[in-house]
Structure 1
Amino acid sequence: MPIPGTPSRAELVDHLVKTRIAGDVATPRENNLNHYRRLANGERNFWLGLELGDRWNDEQDVLAVMAERVGVNDDPAFRYGQDTIDPELTVDALERMAGRLRKAAEGGQRVLLATGHPGGLLDVHHATAVALRAAGCEVVVIPEGLQTEEGYVRQFADIAVLEHGASLWHTHSGEPMHQILTALERAGRPLPDLVVADHGWAGRAAQHGIDSVGYADCNDPALFLAESEGTLQVAVPLDDHVVSPRYYDPMTAYLLSEAGLTGQGDREDQGDQRDREDQEA
């Protein structure tokens, strides 16, 4: 469902609903509540790299935050069926994220981008990295030779990912980000000023005290809890793996436009083309 150019807010809201990035999403209510309960019960895989202690040990408190920040049904008696993400809340959060990206660009800050959901969000992060670099930011290059129990921590197209068995790996773990930050400190290199990520990559960076923004699904409550506490700066609610990664393109265009970064990637590509032409001449 391509939208030529950058959509208006109303066009983006309509697109999010039509593609089920928001609105009536694929994640069922019973899965959402199962994850909220398991987070409240202290299962660390659902903490996404954060340290939540015993502050969120009541499933109903988690549900209340998710209703407020994501738009899931707030009725605790609603246990099965279709759940929702409010597209207006998605766009509100994109606009907050855009404000932090604008600050990074204006300050020429060091930015690290990472994803635990490469099948859905890799291109979103890559387009953001290209635009930020073109605006004068330093995209942090991660140290070599890092690994976790799940696999190797790599960087492809400027984005830190987990590689397992020669494939990019879906992970909720915060350990890959922990490995990166520890290695940077050990090498005496500066930490990022901003992390743009999702899943445990965003959560662990925020827990480390780094300004972090990220994307999260309605069955991954930890980042929204962290945002409510002020640990994470922005959590954008969306279905993080819809039918086609291209469905996220209008959302990315809107984000970069709101951040004042529209056209930055095009200018960088044009500069690369001119460099190649000069070399050939």
Structure 2
Amino acid sequence: MPIPPSRTELIDHLVRTRIAGNVATPRENNLDHYRRLSQGDRNFWFGLELGDRWTDEQDVLAVMAERCGVSDDLGHRAGQDTIDPGLTVAALERAAAFLRKAAEGGQRVLFATGHPGGLLDVHRATAAALRTAGCEIVSIPSGLRADEGSVYQVADVAVYERGATLWHTHSPAPMAAILDGLAALGRPLPDLVVADHGWAGCAAQRGIDAVGYADSNDPALFLAEAEGTLQVTVPLDDHVADPRFYEPMTAYLLDAAGLAVTA
């Protein structure tokens, strides 16, 4: 893990590696996902119950412009879109406050990712830092199944596996399986969930404090933060060219939380 960068250094790094700034996700894809969410496509709700509050695609775009930094130009229908790196850093700082609270209170924290190719090590490093600080990293029940696959943990991070391969999934079902499995065993639910995709949305919908990471084409978590259902959503490209690009970001997050930054 690198030495934590300064705020300015991190912003420069996010733009250079395209974690933020001019990201790879095209405008057409962003707008298509905003439209599908507004039309009630549950695949884009990430386990959240949005009701009829977001049926106008323009309202979704307005939130995404405010909280993620995509263009708010209704006439911009194709080509490049953006994530504001300043918003990414500000969200990391808000997330750090929840990590600090968890460490100070020795909370039970659950980590999960639907994007193992990108964010697995971000969650792993954060879990390790919180464990060192005295938190209980929730161990999920064994034998869990969801969406015709298995749910288990890799390096303290819950993942979804199917056909002997870790899968990218937006589904809330794996997180629901974990929470239901804990309840069935009479074990306490997490005090905090740090996750992404439907894993974060499902936890937040069930009333658990949740911090999530989300790309510019995944609006549900940003809407949940706007409504107060989810505590923090960090905007970023969630699958850049090299997962090691996230290391300075993770170091900044842990340092802001007052946690030890280790390899």
- 2: CA distance between counterparts of 1:53 and 1:146? 29
SS at match of 1:250: helix
Number of the residue aligned with 1:73: 71
Q: In structure 1, the residue corresponding to 2:64 is in which secondary structure?
A: helix
Report the CA distance between 1:262 and its aligned residue.
2.3
Contact 2:2 2:247 in 1 (8 A): no
Counterparts of 2:148 and 2:137, CA distance in 1: 25
Q: Which of 64, 78, 102 is matched with 2:62 structurally?
A: 64
CA shift, 1:207, in A, is 0.2
Which residue in the other structure is 2:109 paired with? Answer: 111
RMSD: 1.0
User: What TM-score results when the alignment is normalised by the length of structure 1?
Assistant: 0.92
**Does the alignment pair 1:142 with 2:124?**
no
CA contact (8 A) 2:2 2:251 kept: no
Distance 1:150 1:214 in 2: 25
Q: Tell me, what secondary structure is at the counterpart of 1:213?
A: strand
Mapping for residues 123-272 of structure 1, pairs under 5 Å: 123-263=121-261, 265=262
Structure 1 counterpart of 2:53, from 52, 55, 63:
55
In structure 2, the residue matched to 1:21 is: 19
Superposition deviation, residue 85 in structure 1: 0.1
**Counterparts in 2 of 1:36-51, with a 5 A limit?**
36-51=34-49
Tell me which amino acid in the other structure corresponds to 1:131.
A
Please list the CA deviations of residues 172-230 of structure 1 after superposition, one character each: whole Å capped at 9, or x if unmatched. Answer: 00000001101111111000000000000000000000000010000000000000000
Check the 8 A contact 2:114/2:169 in 1, yes or no: yes
Listed as ranges, the gaps of 5+ residues in structure 2 are none
- For 1:140, the aligned partner's letter is V
Provide the rounded CA distance (Å) in 1 between the counterparts of 2:250 and 2:35: 32
Q: Distance in 1 between matches of 2:257 and 2:2?
A: 19
Residue correspondences, number: 263
Gaps of 5+ in 1: 267-281
Alpha-carbon deviation of 1:77? 1.1
Q: 1:98 aligns with which of 96, 107, 124?
A: 96
- Cα 1:234–1:152 change in 2 (3 A) is same
SS at match of 1:254: helix
Larger Rg: 1
| TM-score using structure 2 length | 0.99
Q: Once the 2 structures are TM-superposed, how far is the Cα of residue 5 of structure 1 from its aligned partner?
A: 1.1
Deviation track 1:121-162 (CA, whole Å, cap 9, x = no partner) reads: 000000000000000000000001111124100111000000
**Partner AA of 1:230 in structure 2:** G
Post-superposition Cα deviations, 1:89-122, rounded to whole Å, max 9, x if no partner, equal 0000000000000000000000000000000000
Q: Distance in 2 between matches of 1:151 and 1:225?
A: 29
Bigger mean CA offset, 141-150 vs 252-261: 141-150
SS of the aligned residue for 1:111 comes to strand
**Displaced runs of 4 or more, over 6 A:** none
TM-aligned CA deviation for residue 76 of structure 1: 1.0
SS of equivalent residue, structure 2 residue 82 = strand
Partners in 2 of 1:142 and 1:37 — Cα distance?
35
> In the alignment, which residue of structure 1 is the partner of 2:82?
84
